[in-house]
């Protein structure tokens, strides 16, 4: 095997204020490389792994010495090139990206993960004292951070709200070819700053492609003198989001120079690859048909009946491999007029997320439709919440709500098409072996859309969880799911149905307690004092906001998830809605 060449030449002059240029090249990284690893960053396969794909991980890696960045008080020219890879895993989403950074210290100083990219926190974000210069390669569409989409490159000065950002890609003549930052493939980046003209240029390209003639992000008159200090640490920072919005971040090679020259070239021939092929669900390929044929002869006996989900009975079964499954049998009458639905269900199978019940396959036999799911060994949230012998702790309840929020966010925003669930309620939330909450029955409400039967023109949903505008217009939207989730949050925290047998409306009761400053009296008595007061207040208040009859006043699922995870503050100025 060819020996990797590391050429490292750092010219550091001890005397301060003298003309000093810094130049280095790392064509790979190992334990002897002069890199300082901060927080979770480490070496893996001759690359820097800034973060793994656990949730809310921060990692930074810097050249181990601060370098002079000014001459006569002005920021000098610098140029850097590096190769990175952002790798996701099956059943996870993406978040949050990595940055090239210059910071005055290598200390974390209370930095947060997620959209703060391991650099800042909610109070330091945007403050002049940060002296932070960053170029972000952002893989997540951050709320309140005003970025375009989950695949962009931006210039960040002292804060994570980009001064300028562009969707990732590269120019060839007049055409911009998009680059998927989170493809898992190695990607090369160039950042050049000209101290004299104060122009910053950022470019991207696939490995093997030349540096584009025209930069992707280009900013003229960018005066960095107030941002960059005399001596700065240069390196990278990355962070992951809340599970499952996580990814691995790698830096495979890096060169840098100050002075007016361009960063030394990199050896691209000996790079590792972290690319992982994510298995896709395919419509009617042989394995799924096999699953069906091996499942159907088992018959559906009553002692295998798991329950009556929406649209049909659910039975427990076992594959020849021993794997346990749940099979939903869509009843014959509903199965009429469903050609379109058949096409759609195969696309539903491509929805893969750790907070959705995995859909393993489907088939059609004698005008019935069978949908095969992974078996969820801890049953439904409904059962766990109300059965006297089960006792869901606050920790479990909070985790399950966060899980459901994350699954819903995926349905609403993170897949190619917007999917509205339409029937969020405790019996449609399932708990796997580890008590992770998983959303079940997603997308099936569309059955009604494709059915010709007159009785199905009624609104899909369950009383107490249906948004008022859905009852009036019949039009489901992400916001009507948010309403249902609001009802679910209140229900899980209080251990009470949205409408109890005596006709008490849960949301009105909680508003009353809120108005009387006795909000926590709403918490399920069965928890006694064993719950986190701060979290309980957040769940109840967010539950109230999401249950607002006015869809404009509700939050989006991304914001809900961020608040539940403590990454965003509760909105201020809550008012009791005038009409329910």
Binding site for ligand NAG (CB under 6 A): 4, 6, 19-21, 30-32, 40, 52, 54, 57, 71-72, 109-110, 121, 123-124, 259-261, 377-378, 391, 393, 433, 435, 526, 528, 530
Active site residue 423: yes
Give the nearer residue to ligand NAG in terms of CB position, either 119 or 541.
Answer: 119
First-to-final CA distance of the chain? 72
Nearer to ligand NAG, 378 or 477 (CB): 378
Could you tell me which of 411, 442, 469 has the C-alpha nearest to residue 311?
Answer: 442
CA distance 349 to 366: 22
Closer residue to ligand NAG, CB minimum distance, 83 or 334: 83
Shorter beta-carbon distance to ligand NAG: residue 112 or 511 = 112
**Contact yes or no for 124/264 (Cβ under 8 A):** no
- Decide whether 165 or 266 has the Cβ nearer to ligand NAG: 266
CA distance 424 to 403: 13
DSSP secondary structure code for residue 505 in this structure? B
Cα–Cα nearest to 423, from 372, 380, 374: 380
Residue recorded with tokens 């030349």: 210
Cβ distance 419 to 442 under 8 Å? yes
Separation between Cα atoms, residue 173 and residue 156, nearest integer Å:
27
As measured in angstroms, the least distance from the Cβ of 493 to ligand NAG is: 14
Cβ atoms of 343 and 398 closer than 8 Å:
no
Instruction: Quote the least distance from Cβ 135 to ligand NAG, whole Å.
Output: 20
186, 271 Cβ separation under 8 angstroms? yes
Q: Smallest distance, Å, CB 463 to ligand NAG?
A: 28
Exposure of 502 by Cβ count < 10 A (0-12 exposed, 13-18 middle, 19+ buried)? exposed
Of 125, 192, 248, 423, the catalytic one is 423
Contacts of 311 (CB under 8 A, 6+ apart): 328, 330, 331, 334, 441, 444, 447
Q: Write down the least CB distance from residue 293 to ligand NAG, Å.
A: 28
CB of 234 to ligand NAG, least distance (A): 16
Helices assigned H by DSSP within 418-556: 446-450, 468-473, 478-494, 506-515, 533-546
Q: Which two tokens stand for residue 161?
A: 């709200």
In the numeric block, which tokens belong to residue 459?
């609104």
Least spacing, CB of residue 330 vs ligand NAG, in Å: 27
Q: Name 420's Cβ contacts closer than 8 Å, sequence gap at least 6.
A: 411, 412, 445, 476, 477, 478, 480, 481
The DSSP-derived string for 71-118 is ETTEEPPEEEEEEEEEE--TT----EEEEEEEES----TT--SGGGTT
Q: Which is nearer to ligand NAG, 121 or 456 (CB)?
A: 121
Which CB atom, from 213 or from 393, has the smaller least distance to ligand NAG? 393
Name the DSSP letter for residue 129: G
Which is closer to ligand NAG, CB of 339 or CB of 434? 434
- Nearest CB to ligand NAG, comparing residues 79 and 428: 79
In the complex, least distance from residue 402 CB atom to ligand NAG, rounded to whole angstroms: 17
Angle between helices 533-546 and 557-564 (to 10 degrees): 170
Give the count of beta carbons closer than 10 Å to the beta carbon of residue 567.
21
Kindly state the smallest distance separating residue 10's Cβ from ligand NAG, in Å: 12
CB of 549 to ligand NAG, least distance (A): 34
Please tell me the distance from the alpha carbon of residue 453 to that of residue 338, in angstroms, as a whole number. 11
Report the DSSP pairing between strands 175-178 and 312-318: unpaired
Catalytic residue positions, numbered:
423
């Amino acid at each position: 095997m060819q020996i990797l060449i590391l050429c490292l030449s750092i010219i550091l002059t001890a005397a301060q204020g003298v003309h000093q240029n810094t130049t280095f090249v790392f064509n790979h990284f190992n334990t002897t490389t002069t890199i300082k690893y901060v927080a979770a960053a480490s070496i893996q396969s001759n690359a820097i792994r800034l973060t793994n794909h656990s949730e809310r991980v921060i990692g930074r890696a810097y050249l181990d010495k601060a370098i002079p960045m000014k001459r006569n008080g002005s920021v000098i020219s610098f140029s850097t090139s590096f190769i990175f890879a952002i790798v996701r895993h099956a059943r996870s989403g993406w978040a949050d990206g990595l940055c090239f950074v210059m910071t005055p210290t290598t200390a974390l100083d209370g930095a947060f993960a997620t959209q703060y990219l391991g650099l800042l926190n909610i109070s330091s974000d945007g403050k002049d004292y940060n002296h932070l210069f960053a170029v972000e390669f952002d893989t997540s569409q951050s709320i309140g951070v005003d970025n375009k989409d989950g695949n962009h490159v931006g210039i960040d000065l002292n804060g994570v709200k980009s001064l300028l950002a562009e969707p990732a890609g590269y120019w060839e003549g007049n055409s911009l070819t998009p680059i998927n930052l989170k493809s898992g493939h190695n990607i090369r980046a160039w950042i050049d700053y000209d101290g004299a003209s104060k122009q910053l240029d950022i470019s991207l390209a696939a490995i093997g492609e030349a540096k584009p003639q025209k930069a992707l992000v280009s900013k003229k008159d960018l005066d960095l003198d107030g941002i960059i200090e005399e001596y700065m640490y240069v390196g990278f920072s990355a962070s992951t989001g809340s599970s499952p919005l996580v990814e691995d971040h790698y830096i495979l090679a890096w060169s840098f120079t100050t002075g007016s020259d361009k960063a030394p070239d990199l050896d691209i021939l000996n790079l590792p690859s972290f690319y992982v092929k994510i298995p896709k669900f395919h419509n009617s390929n042989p394995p799924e048909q096999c699953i069906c044929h091996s499942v159907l002869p088992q018959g559906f006996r009553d002692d295998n009946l798991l329950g009556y989900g929406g649209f049909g009975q659910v039975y427990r079964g076992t594959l020849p491999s021993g794997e346990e499954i749940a099979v939903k049998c869509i009843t014959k009458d509903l199965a009429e007029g469903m050609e379109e639905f058949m096409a759609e269900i195969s696309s539903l199978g491509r929805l893969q997320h750790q907070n959705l019940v995995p859909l393993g396959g489907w088939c059609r036999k004698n005008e019935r439709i069978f949908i095969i799911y992974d078996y969820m060994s801890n049953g439904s949230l409904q059962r766990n919440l109300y059965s006297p012998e089960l006792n869901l702790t606050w920790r479990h309840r909070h985790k399950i709500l966060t899980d459901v929020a994350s699954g819903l966010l995926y349905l609403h925003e993170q897949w190619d098409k917007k999917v509205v669930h339409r029937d969020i309620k405790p019996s449609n939330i399932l708990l796997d072996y580890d008590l992770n909450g998983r959303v079940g029955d997603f997308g099936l409400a569309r059955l009604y859309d494709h059915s010709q039967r007159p009785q199905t023109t009624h609104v899909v949903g369950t009383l107490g969880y249906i948004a008022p505008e859905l009852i009036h217009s019949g039009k489901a939207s992400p916001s009507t799911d948010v309403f249902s989730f609001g009802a679910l949050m209140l229900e899980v925290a209080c251990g009470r149905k949205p409408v109890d047998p005596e006709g008490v409306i849960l949301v009105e009761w909680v508003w009353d307690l809120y108005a009387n400053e006795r909000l926590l009296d709403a918490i399920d008595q069965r928890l006694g004092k064993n719950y986190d007061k701060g979290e309980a207040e957040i769940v109840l208040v967010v539950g109230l906001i999401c249950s607002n009859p006015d869809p404009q006043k509700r939050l989006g699922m991304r914001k809900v998830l961020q608040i539940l995870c403590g990454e965003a503050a509760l909105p201020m100025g809550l008012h009791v809605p005038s009409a329910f």
